[in-house]
Structure 1
Amino acid sequence: MCGRCRKLIASMSSDGSAPGSWLRKRASHQVLVPATITVLIIIIVTLAALLAVEKSKPPLAAPGLPAGPCCPDGWIGYRGKCYYFSETEGDWNQSQSQCSALKASLAAIDSEQEKDFLLRYKGFLDCWIGLQRERGQPWRWPNGTKFNNWFPIRGGGDCAFLIDEDWFGSSRCSTGRRWICSKLDACTMEKECIVESKL
């Protein structure tokens, strides 16, 4: 074997790499490790800053729901409706006008549970509800829907009021009483708008 070959073989390390290669590997590791750590630190700081900005923003409403409460101040929500219990008295027509001014109508009662809820909150005073009739005509709700007689109405008047858990009263529409307004709550209206827009 030639002398040059022996020197070359002798200068190679036991793992077969060229002489001095371990120095080059070590130098590349010395540059690569700090660069990787620097990049990771920059990523962590950026994520922390983004998280802090997101937490400082006011919370958004869930998709499809209004950002505020479902019922206006002074109203009570129950099963998708908002109710306003008046503190003053008026005749049936004045009461309906007051409700209309609040973008509502005199309460239409759709179920036994709703009736029980209204009785609980109305107190001891009788309150106008949305049932009215023309002489000799059937009872109707403010939206024009015919009343299906699911509870008895006593009295000979043409306007109905909430009086008792077993029956409702009727009297002359010119009698002064407190009243109950109702309207769909904002959350229910928003859901209905979303459904209608998808149709």
Structure 2
Amino acid sequence: MHIKRKEQETRVKVALWSLSSFPSGGYLHLGEQGRERMGSYPYVALSISVQLLKAQPQFMAWCPDGWVGYRGKCYYFSEAEENWNNSQSNCSTLGASLAVIDSKQDLDFMMRYKGISEHWIGLWREQERQPWKWVNGSDFNSSFPIGGGGNCVYLNDNGVSASRCITKRNWVCSKPDAYTSQKNTTQRIRS
């Protein structure tokens, strides 16, 4: 089976991110001597992360091709640019929404994974001085500062900023991974 280079890079990033989500920090528990040895053999770290992922399937995200799994969600980082409204429409077409940030870990993940491009997320307000809302209808709890001015929010190298919604940027979609969706459906049926 032929795997494209981008898909390989995505799988490596997912494996390393999944490894970093272990409480012990994955292979970092080997101590200084182990880290020194692994530094000269980078494939060993990847091999260990793959083995840990196989042993701990609850840490694996079940996401479509081209999406990245992290902490029970699937993320799609676009390569195209659109305004905020069209970005949300594109996410809806994929059965998702612009990304909703539920935790500092989610924000850190997106900031690291997005690269140098600016990406729209699912936070907006109708007018200046009105409260921020997530696209899922929940209120923004001010868990991180928002720089700039405007009514639509995006990620940049400095953190989180707002600007005019008509500006074209990349975007990040998110949706629950297949395991989380299946688990939530089962819980609703039992209730």
Given the alignment of the two structures, is residue 168 of structure 1 paired with residue 160 of structure 2, yes or no?
A: yes
Q: Return the alpha-carbon distance in structure 2 between the equivalents of residues 151 and 164 of structure 1.
A: 14
Deviation digits for residues 133-183 of structure 1, max 9, x if unmatched? 011310000011110111000111000001146x31100000000000000
Given the alignment of the two structures, is residue 106 of structure 1 paired with residue 93 of structure 2, yes or no?
A: no
With structure 1 as the length reference, what TM-score do the two structures score? 0.64
- Runs of 5+ consecutive residues of structure 1 not aligned to the other structure: 1-68
Given the alignment of the two structures, is residue 196 of structure 1 paired with residue 185 of structure 2, yes or no?
A: no
SS, match of residue 188 in structure 1:
helix
- Give the one of 176, 181, 184 matched to 2:176: 184
- Give the one of 137, 141, 148 matched to 1:144: 137
Q: Which residue of 2 aligns with 1:133?
A: 125
Deviation digits for residues 95-147 of structure 1, max 9, x if unmatched? 00000000000000111111111111100111000000011310000011110
Larger Rg: 1
Q: Which residue of 1 aligns with 2:146?
A: 153
Q: Which residue of 1 aligns with 2:55?
A: none
Q: Which residue of 1 aligns with 2:108?
A: 116
Q: Return the alpha-carbon distance in structure 2 between the equivalents of residues 192 and 143 of structure 1.
A: 17
Q: Return the alpha-carbon distance in structure 2 between the equivalents of residues 125 and 74 of structure 1.
A: 17
Number of equivalent positions: 131
Q: Which residue of 2 aligns with 1:94?
A: 86
Q: Return the alpha-carbon distance in structure 1 between the equivalents of residues 78 and 162 of structure 2.
A: 19
Runs of 4+ in 1 over 2 A off after TM superposition: none
With structure 2 as the length reference, what TM-score do the two structures score? 0.66
- Runs of 5+ consecutive residues of structure 2 not aligned to the other structure: 1-60
Q: Residue 74 of structure 1: CA displacement?
A: 0.4
Q: Given residue 175 of structure 1, which amino acid in structure 2 is its aligned partner?
A: T
Q: Return the alpha-carbon distance in structure 2 between the equivalents of residues 113 and 144 of structure 1.
A: 21
8 Å contact from structure 2 (residues 116, 157) kept in 1: no
Q: Return the alpha-carbon distance in structure 2 between the equivalents of residues 171 and 101 of structure 1.
A: 24
Q: Which residue of 2 aligns with 1:50?
A: none
Identity %: 58
SS, match of residue 140 in structure 2:
coil
Q: Return the alpha-carbon distance in structure 2 between the equivalents of residues 131 and 70 of structure 1.
A: 25
Q: Given residue 160 of structure 1, which amino acid in structure 2 is its aligned partner?
A: V
SS, match of residue 188 in structure 2:
helix
Deviation digits for residues 35-80 of structure 1, max 9, x if unmatched? xxxxxxxxxxxxxxxxxxxxxxxxxxxxxxxxxx710010000010
